[in-house]
Structure 1
Amino acid sequence: MSSDATPDPYTDPMAFGQRMQILRTKRGLSRPVAAGLLGMSPSWVKQVERGEIGMPKLPIVLRIAELLRVRDLSDLTGDQSAPVELFTGPGHSRLPAVRDAVNALTLNTDQAAPPTEHLAARLAKAWTARHEAPNHREVLGELLPGLIRDAQLAVRQTDSASARRAAQAVLSEVYSLAQFFIAYQPDPALLWRVAERGMVAAQESEDPHAIGVAAWLAAQAHRDTGPSHFDAADSMTLEALAYMERFLSEADDRVRALAGALQFEAAYTAARRGENGAAWGWWDKAKATSKKLPPSYYHPVTSFSRAIMGAHAVTVAVELRAGGESVRQAVAADATAIPSRPRLARHRIEEARAYHLDGQSETAIATLERAHEAAPETIRYNGYARRIVLEETESKHPARRQRAAVLADQLGLLAA
């Protein structure tokens, strides 16, 4: 390796500031940008990275960890005695079985594949089960291995071009379902492998819905990888929107909803960049698309609907770091209209981020408790929720500290 290569912050012991600088550089963030997002000055960032200021207190460390999307807190602090995973949640007990199903070749088998129509019906039931279950990862982890194997077999055993396209569409959306299970678990390579296979199968299917879903998920994967991938996220979103435009005049509600979901993804990425006008402009477009859907319609994959737009507004405001506006949108949003338990829990987490950003920590903790009631497996794997809970375990207010400690225990954050 070249002597001027970027060192790996996870191997040799080094100071907090050195780790912060290396991780910031790998994220593609300049000091001024990082400082602005942290609410600090560029000179403060420089002093910390040079070791002129010691490691900050936990609330600031957690803000830095969120910004740099570290795998666990010890990657930033260097303290390996009690690693705390943040944006990578714990590995689910069913992850190995799902991984094995993805990696299997299904070449040497005498098993006959189920009809594509049967697979599509099973897939629809799996999506319904996910939305209804508080332990949705457990439910998906049980269903996915069989669905993946059967969908792979269906593609291999087709006897015509049209049948193969139909089977590829189902396989693509099975991979999309798998991404909801694998996300934020400690196997990013598996997540990207499934995302890429889903996109290939979608393109082979020539089905606009399958293509839209695969692009929607790929854009999220790029955005969550960090600022250096924001352009890739935008490219994926805009290309998919341009492709789907030709179908919208005669599209069914599923395809129209996907266009709206992609418009919101553009808003989300713009908000992550700090582009206020672009973010709300794309949100307005998504809102207009939602009004073309029936009032009760709810897309089974993206959750896009009229009901979700309030939740989306909270996310845009939070990502723009607008505390007062975030709370205003949280108060205005109708959470009771969200029928999916995991999506409701995700919205509660976004509300908690809004209140925490606005300095309303007591309300933030109460809102995270409501997220846990809706879907424990959502909050357990959410880095933002974990960061807020950990920060509040250091609160100077005993009652708030106690509530945060209970949540931290429920989320597995106190395990050594």
Structure 2
Amino acid sequence: MDETTTNDAAGPVLSLGQRIQYLRERRGMTREVLAGLVGKSESWLKAVERGQRQQQPRLPILLQLAEALRVRDLSELTGDQSMPIRMFTGPGHPALAAVREAVNALPLQPTGTVQPLTTLRARLDSAWRTRHSSPDHRTALGRLLPDLIRDAQLAAVMYQGEDRRRAQALLAEVYGLTQMFVAYQPAQDLLWRVADRALMAAQESEDPLALSCAVWFLAQAHRDAADFDAARSINEQGLTALSPHMDRADTELLAMWGALHFELAFTAARLGEAGEAWRHWEEAGRIADRLPGDYYQPWTSFSRVIMRPHAVTVAVELHQSGESARQADHAEAVPIPSRPRRGRHLIEVARAHQLQHDHDAVLGTLELAQQTAPETIRYNGYARRMTLEMAEAGPARLRRQARELADKIGVLT
């Protein structure tokens, strides 16, 4: 955030209202638009920005404002470093320290027995299957990743020639899986380390599939950090690098081509660029139609079946209330063959219901997400915000039920 909006000794002290106005104007958003996104009147927002209200907005409204203004840390909005930020990121998983230790244990002086590449490939495939089939996928991965990371890092150093390039491609994919474990945990330094290392390993492998996969993960890291220009740039560079290989692309490479096109749609939606977002979504859909009907890519979830859930995400990110409700109706029961991805989709459906102010549907869908993939909802910032809002400021008849859900996903602890 710009230094003029910080509350420290080196700069001016801004009120909450001034911060909201600054962030709103930085996004090119009118008062009418921002007020509508949080369910308030333009006059209410004007009074908040000018400090004319005796009481500050309650926490649930602050969370909605933070989401609408795309701020990662609530203190950017409030200036109060003591605000409970964990509701955005989720807690750290008990296995996080072991995964960090494995990533940091680079074999600079390699010793030990290197595993056959076929064995590493089989272990990695098994880890992907475990990730998609487990309701508590982070716990399951936390048991597998430390040894897999160490063995893949060793192989990438010990093998030579063509086998070394194959080992580097495997290592890049292991780092991608590691990023899925680390994401949305309080470990941004580790996330960037594995994302950068994945790209370097993929480049060393000279494998276009490994490179496109690493680009996909790196673009996600940039977008989640709200660096949309960087996300779009690395995404477009990935498509350019992949383009010469598309004439002879197999199913996996074609799926990565489609996944990267959808990432452009996602980034455009986050930026409020509706035309660009839907254009890229349509192109991704045309690519998905060229895939086998039962195909489902383990790294990106790209497939025919995922395009409806992707449409929900685009509409929600664009805050298109009616369109998000329509897409959610079409996609709520889509048979996604991955428990964590199905859980994430249900959270997106809940966001669509929130845009419609359908409190019962929001809570019911979040509860279904918790039953489907507890460790998805526990680490999802949107789900945590919606649950807290329902628990503290939702309809009185739903607050007890919402507090029970909040307790299950760790918002109230």
Question: TM-score, normalised on structure 2?
Answer: 0.90
Separation (CA, whole Å) in 2 of partners of 1:294 and 1:9: 55
3-state SS of paired residue (2:325): helix
Q: Does 1:224 align with 2:236?
A: no
Separation (CA, whole Å) in 2 of partners of 1:100 and 1:32: 43
Q: Give the deviation of 1:10 after TM superposition.
A: 8.6
Correspondence for 1:36 among 28, 33, 36: 33
Separation (CA, whole Å) in 2 of partners of 1:154 and 1:356: 48
For 1:331-388, what per-residue CA distance to the aligned partner results, in whole angstroms no more than 9, with x for missing partners? Answer: 1116342010000000000000001111111101100101001100000111111111
Contact 2:60 2:393 in 1 (8 A): no
Separation (CA, whole Å) in 1 of partners of 2:126 and 2:196: 24
Partner of 2:208: 208
3-state SS of paired residue (1:330): helix
Q: Give the deviation of 1:138 after TM superposition.
A: 0.5
Partner of 1:189: 189
Amino acid at match of 1:365: L
Name the count of aligned residue pairs.
Answer: 406
Deviates more, 1:390-399 or 1:110-119: 390-399
Q: Does 1:163 align with 2:163?
A: yes
Separation (CA, whole Å) in 2 of partners of 1:347 and 1:98: 27
Partner of 1:369: 367
Contact 1:70 1:76 in 2 (8 A): yes
Correspondence for 2:271 among 270, 273, 287: 273
Where does the alignment leave 5 or more consecutive residues of structure 1 unmatched?
none
Partner of 2:134: 133
For 1:23-69, what per-residue CA distance to the aligned partner results, in whole angstroms no more than 9, with x for missing partners? Answer: x39xx934636873453788866753553444213332111222355
Amino acid at match of 2:350: A
Q: Does 1:354 align with 2:352?
A: yes
3-state SS of paired residue (2:149): helix
For 1:98-154, what per-residue CA distance to the aligned partner results, in whole angstroms no more than 9, with x for missing partners? Answer: 111111122345311111221111111100000000000011111111111111100
3-state SS of paired residue (1:97): helix
Deviates more, 1:388-397 or 1:71-80: 71-80
Separation (CA, whole Å) in 2 of partners of 1:331 and 1:56: 33
Separation (CA, whole Å) in 1 of partners of 2:223 and 2:31: 17
3-state SS of paired residue (1:246): helix
Separation (CA, whole Å) in 2 of partners of 1:94 and 1:396: 34
Q: Give the deviation of 1:80 after TM superposition.
A: 7.0
Contact 2:266 2:314 in 1 (8 A): yes
Partner of 2:281: 283
RMSD between superposed Cα atoms in Å: 2.6
Change over 3 Å in CA distance of 1:197–1:38 after alignment to 2? farther
Separation (CA, whole Å) in 2 of partners of 1:400 and 1:11: 44
Separation (CA, whole Å) in 1 of partners of 2:275 and 2:243: 23
Q: Give the deviation of 1:231 after TM superposition.
A: 1.6
Where does the alignment leave 5 or more consecutive residues of structure 2 unmatched?
none
Separation (CA, whole Å) in 1 of partners of 2:190 and 2:61: 32
Contact 2:325 2:353 in 1 (8 A): yes
Identity of aligned residues (%): 53
Deviates more, 1:85-94 or 1:56-65: 56-65
Separation (CA, whole Å) in 1 of partners of 2:99 and 2:35: 38
**For residues 308-319 of structure 1, what are the structure 2 equivalents within 5 Å?**
308-319=306-317
Q: Does 1:257 align with 2:255?
A: yes
Contact 2:359 2:395 in 1 (8 A): no
For 1:251-299, what per-residue CA distance to the aligned partner results, in whole angstroms no more than 9, with x for missing partners? Answer: 1111111111111111111111111111111111011000100000000
Separation (CA, whole Å) in 1 of partners of 2:4 and 2:14: 14
Contact 2:332 2:346 in 1 (8 A): no
Change over 3 Å in CA distance of 1:280–1:31 after alignment to 2? closer
3-state SS of paired residue (1:247): helix
Correspondence for 1:332 among 312, 330, 333: 330
3-state SS of paired residue (1:67): helix
Partner of 1:247: 245
Amino acid at match of 2:319: R
3-state SS of paired residue (2:118): helix
Partner of 2:51: 51
Partner of 2:86: 85
Question: TM-score, normalised on structure 1?
Answer: 0.90
3-state SS of paired residue (1:201): helix
3-state SS of paired residue (1:185): coil
Deviates more, 1:34-43 or 1:326-335: 34-43
Deviates more, 1:313-322 or 1:107-116: 107-116
Separation (CA, whole Å) in 2 of partners of 1:169 and 1:219: 18
Separation (CA, whole Å) in 2 of partners of 1:174 and 1:145: 10
Change over 3 Å in CA distance of 1:262–1:33 after alignment to 2? farther
Separation (CA, whole Å) in 2 of partners of 1:154 and 1:354: 45
Change over 3 Å in CA distance of 1:282–1:168 after alignment to 2? same
